[in-house]
Amino acid sequence: MTQATRDKPWLFRTYAGHSTAAKSNALYRANLAKGQTGLSVAFDLPTQTGYDSDHDLARGEVGKVGVPVCHLGDMRALFDAIPLEEMNTSMTINATAPWLLALYVAVAEEQGADVRNLQGTVQNDIIKEYLSRGTYICPPKPSLRMITDVAAYTAENLPKWNPMNVCSYHLQEAGATPEQELAFALATGIAVLDDLKGKVDPAAFPAMVGRISFFVNAGIRFVTELCKMRAFTELWDEICRDRYGIEEEKYRRFRYGVQVNSLGLTEQQPENNVYRILLETLAVTLSKNARARAVQLPAWNEALGLPRPWDQQWSLRMQQILAYETDLLEYGDLFEGSPVIAAKVEALKAGARDELKVLDGMGGAIAAIEYMKGRLVEANADRLNRIEAGETVVVGVNRWQAGEASPLTAGDGSILTVDPAVEADQVARLDAWRAARDQRAVEAALAALRLAAENGQNIMPASVACAKAGVTTGEWAGVMRAVYGEYRGPTGVSKSPSNRTEGLDDLRAAVDAVSTRLGRRLKFVVGKPGLDGHSNGAEQIAARARDCGMDIHYEGIRLTPAQIVAAAESESAHVVGLSILSGSHLPLVAEVMERMQAAGLSHVPVVVGGIIPDDDAEAMRRMGVARVYTPKDFELNRIMGDIVLLAEPKAEAAE
């Protein structure tokens, strides 16, 4: 039955930011002029992991996957001529969320805004960083404290701001089943609320529960995804009511934004991604009772590289057509009373409750991080196995690969590339900023921040003071590292082979044979240089190599080229594999190859995987890289076969 009035559309966002604050600002203003109704800021990896643009680990990463923000001047430029009091801004930032929010507040005050009117969210979900994305800094317990410091600060000072976005998006990207995604995300929300209870007035707690939001993923199985969203809304309502005693229905509402699944976007026949994105969008918009409050869509060509403004516009127009040209918003919930939907929702809820019981038995999400990480790696391996075996059909990848070349990808400029000169320009501006600031004020602000952290005080007021004094991102994070320590998360890849060795007999025999000729077990060192925390690919390569009988060495994310080459030397590697998804492959691979040669390891083959354009792949081959793999190389067993050939005692036999 049609409604008397149309529902208000969800917020239209585009996840954007690259190169510099000034260039990103121009992109934001252009997108707003095209009808975007909210901002979604992507920060580069140095900013996400608390390093300034001139830090050694930032080399090659500046401005690649987002915008670099080192200080108040960068944040000021990012939002120039954008009135923050009128904006709804989502900042995808986690470990450094307190700092970026402090900079945002400082800029808003400079604009003359009433900060109590600021609307938006910082993602601020560090737990999923340990499980899937890898941009954590500090250990779990102090990181949880920083999350709730932000929440308590917003309760007092920014009542319209969402202090945390529980992010299940990357859980699905890491292979989570719908039941795991539900349970792990809800367990994160529970951990935060349990800690927050002691930091806010009991009378203010229900309203704070109502300000916790979620950021979810919607995959291609859109009926399942639609049911998952209904399950999320019902389970969260149940948790808020039964665990926390929240009586007001509005505070128990499951409030979520979504980016539909980038994991399912294919490099092969990339024009097919347009249909995938649309179907995934329907999963979070069709059901009124579980409709997203904000939607940001990837661009069709994100499996190839950075999208251009036109590509982002195409995704924005998809949302606008759905919201304004169709009659979707004129009706109540289309699925109420459907026995099929109800049965699937109940099944998902039951599976999630079972998983939540396991997590509760371990002491909650913080205590169960290693368990959850292992479960995700296993689930992702199962997903990839089904694709490899053809049980899960991916059009253009494992079925119907033949087709016409896409005219959309023809010619130069089909994807956006970041000018390498951007990094030098950003570092020059950073140097100028440091030279012009009041160093005494900076040192005093940092001392006050350290004292607040050491004494268990809320770090937000001191962070805002640091922002205004001219402190940099690296300096703020340096204090957090000094007080709380750093952390190295579990890889989820055990040394013991899994029980998924069916179909690997030939490969295991080949590994045994080449190991005999080598005089010891084939040693494969897998490394992730730079700040890229997308570890799914590296984990699956390491796990499959292990199951094939290789002796693997995989330490996880965020290694320097020097550390990887040192591991190759100390482990006497037969083959080295590098995984880089941030676009920084050329400078990082070049440094690894130079260091390999300097260490006398130029005879050890190096293979590289990532989102790598053809021209860059050819450049790496000229550097001496033996093999380059991109997302189209989904057959892990073929890659394993290549590694065996490369490890042969006579390297020329593999050429």
- Other Cβ atoms less than 10 A from the Cβ of 612: the count is 25
Size (the chain), residues: 655
Query: How does strand 88-92 pair with strand 39-42?
Result: parallel
Dihedral sign (CA 80, 84, 88, 94): positive
Strands of 59-135, DSSP E: 88-92, 119-122
Task: Report how far residue 386's alpha carbon sits from residue 39's, in angstroms, rounded to the nearest whole number.
Answer: 37
Residues 6+ apart with CB under 8 A from 207: 155, 159, 251
Is residue 232 within 8 A of residue 187, CB to CB? The reply is no
Q: Which residues are annotated as catalytic?
A: 15, 169-170, 528, 532, 534
Strands of 323-393, DSSP E: none
- Other Cβ atoms less than 10 A from the Cβ of 243: the count is 11
Is residue 90 within 8 A of residue 294, CB to CB? The reply is yes
Residue (of 74, 64, 66) closest to 472 by Cα position: 74
Query: What's the DSSP call for residue 296?
Result: E
Longest Cα separation, the chain: 78
State the residue for tokens 């202090």: 163
Residue (of 533, 478, 359, 457) closest to 146 by Cα position: 457
Task: Report how far residue 16's alpha carbon sits from residue 298's, in angstroms, rounded to the nearest whole number.
Answer: 10
Which H or E run includes 654? none
Residues 6+ apart with CB under 8 A from 624: 593, 602, 606
Is residue 467 within 8 A of residue 103, CB to CB? The reply is yes
Can you name the residues that pair with 260 across neighbouring β-strands? Answer: 218
